[in-house]
Structure 1
Amino acid sequence: MEFELLHTDVNSRARAGKITTDHGVIETPIFMPVGTVATVKGVHQRELQQEINPDIILGNTYHLYLRPKTEILKQAGGLHKFMNWDRNILTDSGGFQVYSLSANRKIKEEGVKFKSHIDGSYHFFSPENVMEIQRTIGADIIMAFDECTPYPCDYKYARRSMHMTHRWLDRCVEHLKKTPELYGYSQTLFPIVQGSTYKDLRKQSAEYIAGVGAEGNAIGGLSVGEPAEEMYAMTEVVTDILPVDKPRYLMGVGTPINILENIALGIDMFDCVMPTRNARNGMLFTANGIINIKNKKWVADFSPIDEMGHTWVDTEYSKAYLRHLFAANESLGKQIASIHNLGFYMWLVREARQQILSGTFYDWKAKMVKQLGERL
């Protein structure tokens, strides 16, 4: 993997760059649609590729390991071939999913024993077998195994967890050297900064991760319930330390405003289930604010879903029709809303990139943040 930093905004830390892997170019800043179980919910690959058009999507190690299972993915030739996706894929390590199973998992130095949410069977993740699983899945960018701490989190626990995450990272790096790539293209490991919302721990973790010399770095353990101001403060601490010439990935973030504020702090890569999850509940993101399409005010509004929209659904369908689909509980409504939201997120990061390259990002971002929070 190669990363080229093209331009940095003069009034902020916002960057425009280019990541190149064996599956193509990723222009940054980038949002990665979440394809948890080898699908971005409600969206065909053809729509994803031709309408939403992301350079990279995200898959989930925990879910793919449980279903369809890694042996099926290996027989298929990896996740790209299994889901018919010829662009980049990033897989998370399963650390966040293990964190979310707090009632059904036990964390030790050796790894994590957890109970499947599907059938109740017990499984074990270690740094070593998570590297093997991600080799088999075959993503272009793979994540080190870490522990994602909850919020709020006791300082002593956060410090102990951070040091264990660092030790797990060392084990990931060593085991990856012994585990060959399976499908004829290279895979790149990103380590993960932890430390909860404690500035000294975040600084210590960022220094440790920077010292590993990986081709890219991630920031985990944020967007787990802490106030946005704390997220931004921790991101700023970390981006002060992580190498300028490597891509920075803020995991699990977030709202459109979160994304713009973190781009301004020097983040290059984002992922979040929010565009599709909120879409399924009738929330549409637009450049002028948020639409709750279930509201009665749209019942006879025959204007396009979004006149400034960036996918075909935005002008093909009216607000009244989409509201009707939600009122009738038709699955097509959720599909249309999902395509719209993903298209909007892609527009947002690509427009941010153009504003950075043009030297106008700072003022544009300030205007957009005001508009994005409006309720229409």
Structure 2
Amino acid sequence: MTVESTAARKPRRSSSRRTSAAKAPQSSEPQLVQLLTPEGERVEHPDYSIDISPEELRGLYRDMVLTRRFDSEATALQRQGELGLWASLLGQEAAQIGSGRALRDDDYVFPTYREHGVAWCRGVDPTNLLGLFRGVNHGGWDPATNNFHLYTLVIGSQTLHATGYAMGVAKDGGDSAVVAYFGDGATSQGDVAEAFTYAAVYNAPVVFFCQNNQWAISEPTARQTRVPLYQRAQGYGFPGVRVDGNDVLACLAVTKASLERARSGEGPTLVEAFTYRMGAHTTSDDPTKYRADEERAAWEAKDPILRLRTYMEKQKFADEAFFTALEAESEALGKGVREAVRAMPDPGSMAMFDHVYADGSSLVDEERAEFIAYQASFVEEGN
């Protein structure tokens, strides 16, 4: 089934930044791939289909629930001073779990800093994500173990890394694929344009997965592009598709098809997951300053978790015992994460000078000596 985007409206002028931003639309009315409506009704699409068992549906639902619980715990920990910062994925669970579960073990992922659900799908310990935001490690996981690269905070740069890696896969004769995750704001970066160019010219087996959550911090998508983001792929010579980012089944189906296309030598695809950031950009942001409450309320009605639960309950694919057990598992996860974060040891004060250069540096040695002397100046005599 093809449906019109509910966010596609004609722009209107307003003297109020908040009002005009909240109602600022795409300049056209794009269509998107949807397999599960916001009301929890299963529909068909002529180009994308998926055969999924009740057990697999329960697995997707569990992934989304536990990812949201982990995310909410991380937000609470930051508010309590246990983390320096946190970038919430609230509202984007379907886009991440659907695409994450489409991956094969030998596929490789290049994330940004918000792909907590994809990290969950790749088997990364959630506490390692928190170690990064607590400032006690640089990620804490080996990318080669999970085929999941470290988080990238430089906006858009990971698309170049993904493209280069994918070009290497092709030259080595491999049949795996690469996925680069990024947000709508990153599409305004030159790195993304360069990655699209190289991927197209070299027919790299890469899927560019853009989570369009409508807001690049306080800037709406309409202020960054005059056409829907997925249509940009046409200018580079590869296909683009817009998928309902709150529909976990559609995200799974579209990503699977895009990955298979990459593996079969047909080159890159741009997937635009049309979703919504329910919370703040990060915990240092206040979205009430630039977007209307009515906008969030409209998207709450499209909640990806509620949508799948409604469908499973209608079809009797899950009973109350399942949901009760999952709630208990969710609370146990939250408690475990909280305890693990508070037990994390502080890194040594000299650790920031380690591993800056593989072979050492006289400048770093000089800076280390200066810092040691600076710390020593606070030590009282006799102590």
**TM-score, length-scaled by structure 2:** 0.32
Higher strand share: 1
Query: Taking CA–CA contacts closer than 8 Å with sequence separation of 6 or more, which of the two structures ends up with the larger relative contact order?
Result: 2
